[in-house]
Amino acid sequence: MGMITTKDGTEIFYKDWGSGQPLVFHHGWPLSADDWDNQMLFFLDKGYRVIAHDRRGHGRSTQTATGNEMDTYAADVAALTAALDLKDAVHIGHSTGGGEVAHYVARAEAGRVAKAVLIGAVPPVMVKSDKNPGGLPIEVFDGFRSALVANRAQFYRDVPSGPFYGYNRPGATVSQGVIDNWWRQGMMGGAKAHYDCIKAFSETDFTEDLKKIDVPVLVMHGDDDQIVPIADSALLAVKLLKHGTLKVYEGLPHGMCTTHPDVINADLLAFVEG
C-alpha cells in the first residue's frame, strides 16, 4: 500500500500486491479500492500484480473540493501508472470506474495498456438528452444529490440494501455484511467529492473515448442492472469500440462482482489470458 501526490497536491492511496502482468482495478461511486478485494486476492493467487487506488475524494485519498471530474480522474490514473511504471496493464473498471477506464485508456501513453474491461459501466453517457433519448432523466441524479445532502449516511444504507446488489428482488439472498461494507467505504470518502462525482458519472459523454480505444475491451453487464441499465450503456458502448466483446449476465445486478465473484472472476481470467 502507498500514496502518490498529484500535481495539485492531492494524495492518491493505492494497494499494490504481487508481481507479473499488472491488473489495475477502478472502483465505482462512492466506494474505494476495497470493493475489489475478492478480485485482487483471486488474481494475486493466479500470479498477477494487482493494483487498486482510491479515486480522489474517495476512501483514503484526499477529500478534494476540486478536480472531481473525469479529466482529472484520468490524469490521476496516468500519474499513478507513471509512478509505478506500469506497462501492458489490464485496466478493469466497474460503474463509474468503467468511465474512468475509458477516459484514461483513450489517452494512455503507448505501451501502458494491453486490454481493458468495463463492468456495469456508465459509458457512453447516462443522462437523458436529445442525443441520448434512452438515458435516465436528470431528475434521477438530482435525487441522488438531494439525498446525499439531506442524509448521506442513510442514503448510503438505502442504495446497497436495494437496487445495487438486487437485494430488492423477490427471493434475493441479502448479506448484511455486504451492505455494511458498502456503507463503510462510502462514509470514508468526502461529501463534496461524492456530490461532484454524481455529475461526472452521469453527464460525461464517453462516446469519443470509446471510439479512440484500440486495445481489446471486454464489456460485462448484468441484464438486471438497476443502477446502470444495460440498454443505454453496454449495448451501445460495444458498438463504438474497435475491438469490443460483449458478455451479458442474465438476471445479475449492478454489483455482480460481489454477488457472483466466481462467475465474474472466471470470465475476467479467460479474457486476461486470452
Looking at the annotation, which residues are catalytic?
95, 225, 254
Count the neighbouring beta carbons within 10 Å of the beta carbon of residue 96. Answer: 29
DSSP letters, 60-117, are: TS---SS--SHHHHHHHHHHHHHHTT--SEEEEEETHHHHHHHHHHTTPPTTSEEEEE
Contact 109/188 with Cβ under 8 angstroms? no
Return the C-alpha cell found at 40: 485482487
Backbone angles phi, psi at 176, to 5 degrees: -65, -35
Distant-in-sequence contacts of 62-67, Cβ < 8 A, 24+ apart? 62/9, 62/10, 62/11, 62/12, 63/189, 63/190, 63/192, 63/193, 64/10, 64/190, 64/192, 64/193, 65/192, 65/193, 66/8, 67/8, 67/10
Return the C-alpha cell found at 13: 492511496
Sign of CA dihedral 231, 164, 122, 260: negative
Residue count (the chain): 274
